[in-house]
Amino acid sequence: MNPLDLLTFARGSAMNWALMIFLAGIVLRLFEIVGLGRKHDLSRARTVTTGSGWRTVFMRSWPAAGMIKRDPVTYLAGYVFHIGLLIVVFCYAPHIDFIRSMTGLNWRGLPSTLVDAMALVSIIALLVLLAHRLTNPVKRLLSGFGDYLAWGLTLLPLLTGYLAFHHQLFEYTLMLSLHLFSVELLLVLLPFTKLFHSFTVFLSRWYNGEMAARKGVVS
């Protein structure tokens, strides 16, 4: 099979299946979670409160006082990775184009050189996070196969994209195919791993903020 045929497959039926499984998986998992429901809280909620579910959805991204000092690596590398990833995924013209073809939404991207720098920075942050996960006793205790799988699934698209962009390792068309395959793998497994937090983080923060707000506490 020549590189262009492989790319056509990666852009074609492989992408179709990946997108379908991704979408079906998200919907299924959301039903699976929300469908469990929760009992209506019969206690009287406080009427005067500055807290809310929505507030926590946004403000929980700001670290609680004193926490950065206790674990600067997780916060710093975590933020750098997430922000870098979001810039790479959502501010690179070809990616925006991909989203546009699926949703019709469109927006201006950033210069490719800047996105390229962000990709490198994200990869470095991921490496730092892996090292930390392997050496920090708390993280070591908590981590298992799922965590390392998620790490790999996240690294591969960044790495293959970076290599393709820079014409490294393999010939461009092949490298681009590998990039697409790594993205497809990520899409297919995302709903069924801890990577699903990319969706449930909003729900969890909302529950947290709402439950605290009815008690008059901003969480």
- Contact between 156 and another protein (CB under 8 A)? no
Q: Please choose, from the candidates 15, 14, 20, 28, the residue with its C-alpha nearest in 3D space to the C-alpha of residue 199.
A: 28
- Contact between 39 and another protein (CB under 8 A)? yes
Q: Which amino acid is at 152?
A: G
Choice from 117, 139, 149, 185 touching another protein (CB under 8 A): 139
- Contact between 52 and another protein (CB under 8 A)? no
- Contact between 4 and another protein (CB under 8 A)? yes
Rounded CA gap, 13 and 202, in Å? Answer: 32
Residue placing its CB nearer to another protein in the complex, 96 or 159: 96
- Contact between 86 and another protein (CB under 8 A)? no
Query: In this structure, what token pair is assigned to residue 59?
Result: 């403000």
Q: Please choose, from the candidates 51, 91, 71, the residue with its C-alpha nearest in 3D space to the C-alpha of residue 206.
A: 51
Question: How many angstroms separate the Cα of 61 from the Cα of each of 68, 110, 179?
Answer: 12, 24, 30
- Contact between 148 and another protein (CB under 8 A)? no
State the minimum distance, in angstroms, from the CB of residue 106 to another protein: 8
- Contact between 131 and another protein (CB under 8 A)? no
- Contact between 145 and another protein (CB under 8 A)? no
- Contact between 72 and another protein (CB under 8 A)? no
Please give the backbone phi and psi of residue 66, each rounded to the nearest 5 degrees, phi first: 80, -10
Rounded CA gap, 195 and 74, in Å? Answer: 17
Residues 17-36 as x/- pattern, contact with another protein by CB under 8 A: --xxxxxxxxxxxxxxxxxx
Hey, which residues between 160 and 219 contact another protein (CB under 8 A)? 167, 172-173, 176, 192, 194, 196-197, 200-201, 203-209, 211-212, 215-219
State the minimum distance, in angstroms, from the CB of residue 123 to another protein: 18
Choice from 52, 54, 76, 78 touching another protein (CB under 8 A): 78
Rounded CA gap, 122 and 211, in Å? Answer: 34
Q: Please choose, from the candidates 148, 86, 157, the residue with its C-alpha nearest in 3D space to the C-alpha of residue 118.
A: 86
Contact 28, 177 (CB under 8 A): no
Give the number of residues in contact with another protein, rule: CB under 8 A: 100
